[in-house]
Amino acid sequence: MDAEEFRVQGKSMIDFVAKYREEIGLYRVTPTVEPGYLRDLIPMEPPEYPENWKDIMDDTKSKIMVGMTHWQHPRFHAYFPSGASYPSILADIVGDVVGCIGFSWASGPACTELEGIMLDWLAKMMNLPPEFMHATPGSKGGGCIQTSASECVLVSILAARALAIQALKRKNPDQDEGAMLSQLIAYCSKEAHSCVEKGAMIAFVKLRILETDDEFSLRGGTLQKAIEQDRAAGLYPFFVSTTVGTTSCCSADNLTEIGPICKEYDIWLHVDAAYAGGSQICEEFRYLFDGIQYAWSVNTNANKWLLTNFDCSCFWVKDRYKLTQALVVDPLYLQHSHSEESIDYRHWGIPLSRRFRALKLWFVIRIYGVEGLRKYIRNHVALAKSFENKVKQDPRFEIMNKVQLGLVCFRMKGSNQMNQKLLSTINASGKLHMVPASLNDKYVIRFCVCREEACESDMVYAWEVIKAVATEIEKTEVGSEPSSPVPEPVRRMSKETQDILKGLSERRFTLARQTSTINEIIARASVDMTDDEVMLPRSRRGSLFPACAFIDDFAGANERERRASLMDLGLDKMGASSFRRQSDSSVTGIRVPSGSSSFHEHEVIEEGEESVPDNGKPSSETNNEI
């Protein structure tokens, strides 16, 4: 494709994009395809010779678009908003055409410098403390753009871990680093995003998940008690991840209570505000960030609620040196003569390669203006309150969350099965798309205002659909015997999974220089298995675990332990009893008692409840030690 053809086809592509957005309401919000549909439509071999642009676009319309969930659709109310504004799309074109891989200042001076300026702009818009801004005189802090909130949480954990190891080394310079890792413990609430668990797993540190209050907020007293218990047990608390705008119900942890506790114990406090952070550009919502001055790091996704298309997760730290010391790798071929007086963002995250994402923020903020973005957010909040009022007026329904921003959680007054049937029926109709959440073991339906151009008529339409389906469900429920839940499709282990488990049965893993058996690794999964190898979904909150130190085949491991296999552990028949963790539905935290090497001993840490350490070790005959 030469420049002339690019001009022609580029214009046609812009027309296609504009027409799609104008006519998106004509599509079904979710597709009707089944998994694997595309394999029947796309050749399994790549073309040897060039193909015609028109054919490619025709295939895009007939084969790709029919298999899309339309996130900008007026009937899409699932998850959170996904920004896709026209200015952001056009900015991506500019960023793509220059092809800059901005890993250092030298590789793209404008790419690096605009990113720093845009993060300062957004920090000022959100009223973050000046310590988080590059331009503040004497500041050690600053911001950068990461791929996702998950990445922000992960790099925060890695930075906090590096600081904690340094502190432990100063106290015990002769102690092995693997042993130090086994002492580290992080905290989050049960409403925190799953990325905190994944981050702890990647970092090989323990994670204790704490109970929340009646408004699904983590409180300082709960954290204080957990820290004191863990310190008494010989553990080293090093990281707390709080959430402002939880995924399930948009609740906010109490930063004013948690912050001073983290300060007292010198614990890294991270604030994940992936969705709700955008609301901070409006003064009336800033109460959600009360206590933000205690945070060491903060993130929000501009690609959620600031009309910027993915990926654009904004991340700030108070001390960039504490971040980069955990991530710096500086080979000669990446060094340059201005490294001492500039910022190289390759030291701020996992990937080396970085796209020119700051252009999107620059375009969006300038085209809309801060006031335009405020108007957009306030409209979403007003529409959510309107929808909440509609739900409250119908005695068949109840509101399950405190509606503060653009998310409403509701349910029919009745069984979880009834609400599951309500949601599945609505989604299957294609008239709306919503997703569920679990709050205090109740199945609730999340209704999020997502579309940029959302309006009151969208709320009216959605509520009419919900009421109509609820009425039909009531007719089937009244006078009928209680029915069992509709069974989920049977899921069995694939041949690939069976082969993997067979291979794992022939080896052992070493974590923190002690061995772990495969049953403990499987117990961390999100499924249970029955005797006939049927996989059953398990609540994520019922599969919490403490990840541990680096996985490796340790040469010094006991030979008897190395020879242990699945048959030694009674797993040769994939018995459900071998896989199923006790109290699956109620586990909300972990306890690793002093003197115990077992990370398989979990206790429920409830609000206002004492935890009694269990000092017993598992028998060595069970091979359950890590």
The partner residues of 189 in beta bridges, in order of sequence, read: 210
- Are 331 and 167 in contact by the 8 Å Cβ rule? The answer is no
CB 128 within 8 A of CB 292: yes
Which residues of the chain form CATH 3.90.1150.10?
A: 374-477
What three-state secondary structure class fits 230?
helix
- What span, in angstroms and rounded, lies between the C-alpha atoms of 87 and 364? 6
Backbone φ and ψ for 343, nearest 5 degrees, come out as -100, 135
Rounded Cα gap, residues 191 and 246, in angstroms: 6
Q: How many CB atoms lie within 10 A of CB 61?
A: 11
CB 69 within 8 A of CB 31: yes
Tokens representing residue 82 in the block: 């996904």
Tokens 């679990």 belong to 438
Q: Are 602 and 563 a contacting pair, CB within 8 Å?
A: no
CB count within 10 Å of CB 532 equals 10
- With a CB cutoff of 8 Å and minimum separation 6, the contacts of 503 are none
State residue 84's pLDDT score.
93
Q: Is 510 helix (H, G, I), strand (E, B) or coil?
A: strand
- Residue numbers of the chain with a pLDDT score lower than 70: 332-333, 478-626
Interatomic CA distance for residues 14 and 12, integer angstroms: 5
- Write out the residue limits of the CATH 3.40.640.10 domain(s) in the chain: 100-330+338-356
- Parallel, antiparallel, or unpaired: how do β-strands 297-301 and 236-243 relate? unpaired
Confidence at residue 500, expressed as pLDDT on a 0 to 100 scale: 66
Tokens 């989920």, located at residue: 488
CA dist., res. 365 & res. 467, Å (int)? 39
Q: Which CATH class is domain 374-477?
A: alpha beta
Q: What is the dihedral of CA 536, 539, 540, 541, to 10 degrees?
A: -150
Sequence-distant (≥ 6) Cβ neighbours of residue 218 within 8 angstroms:
188, 189, 191, 210, 212, 242, 243, 253, 254, 258
pLDDT, residue 501, reads: 61
The predicted pLDDT at position 262 comes to 98
The answer to whether domain 3-70 has CATH 1.20.1340.10 is yes
Place of tokens 């974590």: 511
Residues 6+ apart with CB under 8 A from 584: 528, 538, 539, 542, 543
Kindly compute the dihedral angle of the four CA atoms of residues 83, 89, 90, 94, in this order, to the nearest 10 degrees: 110
pTM for the model: 0.77
Q: Write out the residue limits of the CATH 1.20.1340.10 domain(s) in the chain.
A: 3-70
Residue with tokens 């007293």: 221
CATH fold, domain 100-330+338-356, is Aspartate Aminotransferase; domain 2 (3.40.640)
Token reading at 166: 């340094």
At residue 479, φ and ψ (nearest 5 deg) are 80, -5
